[in-house]
A and B are shown apart, each in its own frame.
Chain A
Amino acid sequence: MSENTHHIVPYRTYGLILVLLVILTGTSVAITQIELSRWATLAALLLASAKSAFVLAVFMHLKFDQRIYKAMVIFIILVMAAVIVLTFFDYGFR
């Protein structure tokens, strides 16, 4: 934690990420409007996770920041995943 080693992210990078995010949004809308199976929801959630990953990595600078932030975010996601899995071990088998 010494000097201010701030990475300057080019505007272009942010622009490209936005284009990607909009495409992923369009895809999730298209999938859920056409397909009516239960897989559509799963696909939409996976696309949402992909979008979150881009927001976290680039917009929130995790890709450029010290690794500790990335490690903490992963830990929090794992905690949430564990709680979700445990909850459904209960509700899923009632």
Chain B
Amino acid sequence: MTEGIAHHAEHRDDEGSKLGIWLFIFTELLFFGGLFITYAVYRHGNAEAFHLAGKELDVTLGTINTVILLISSMTIAMATTAIQKKDKRTTLILIGITLLLALAFLVNKYFEWSAKIGHGIWPGSPLLEELGRGDTLFFGLYYFMTGLHALHIIIGMVLIAVILVRVRKDKITHDNFQLLENGGLYWHLVDLIWIFLFPLFYLIA
């Protein structure tokens, strides 16, 4: 149970900490899983409307955001490698890039939502009521699920920013980097959810 290096008499349980973040990830997966089932059931009953509504979404913007998130997943994963190699500079750069990519994702999302709202499509908008049940369901789920996902991005950014500061202050080091790895795991979860949101909303047309 000893860590080898006993600098302080601090209590640390990296494996337990990792198990904790995984358990949290499972609750998140089941949470979004429930939403995906809701989506599947409503789509089953409103196939034509979902098909047409999906055409309204910008595939190019969705694809760009997918690639942005994939790259950010890679950079945060690489940060763990960098810290293990005692390369603090590279670690900080990689975490910084991850944060910038997360911001870019949110900026794209902002333009995407703005365009939709500009076209009169928002939850409860008069246009949606006119279009009927299928479109109301599709865009309701679209706003709720991508919004919830964006909230996860924001929370992830706060977490990654905390990690950035702790790496700078040498609180996270080559022999004590579980927080960085856990932050990475959370960030990959955000990526995983998007991997399914993208085809189900943008590519079904």
Is B147 in contact with chain A by the CB < 8 A criterion?
no
Nearest 8 A/B pairs, CB to CB: A44-B199, A32-B203, A18-B74, A80-B33, A59-B77, A8-B84, A21-B70, A1-B15
| Complex contact B1–A1 (CB within 8 A) | yes
B80 — nearest CB in chain A belongs to which residue?
A: A9
| Complex contact A45–B26 (CB within 8 A) | no
In the complex, per-residue mask of B1-17: 1 if CB is within 8 Å of any chain A CB, else 0: 11110000000001100
For the residues of A in contact with B, the DSSP-based class is helix
Chain B: interface residue count, which band?
Answer: 35 or more
Closest CB in chain B relative to A53 CB, distance in Å: 10
User: Interface size (A, Cβ < 8 Å)?
Assistant: 48
Q: A28-B199, A91-B45 are in contact. List 20 more A-B contacts (CB 8 A).
A: A3-B4, A11-B78, A14-B81, A17-B74, A18-B70, A18-B73, A21-B70, A25-B66, A41-B204, A45-B196, A48-B196, A52-B195, A55-B188, A56-B188, A59-B188, A60-B185, A69-B18, A76-B30, A80-B30, A88-B44
A6 touches which of B66, B84, B184, B204 (Cβ 8 Å): B84
Is B63 in contact with chain A by the CB < 8 A criterion?
yes
A69 to B198, CA, bound (A): 26
B188 touches which of A18, A60, A87 (Cβ 8 Å): A60
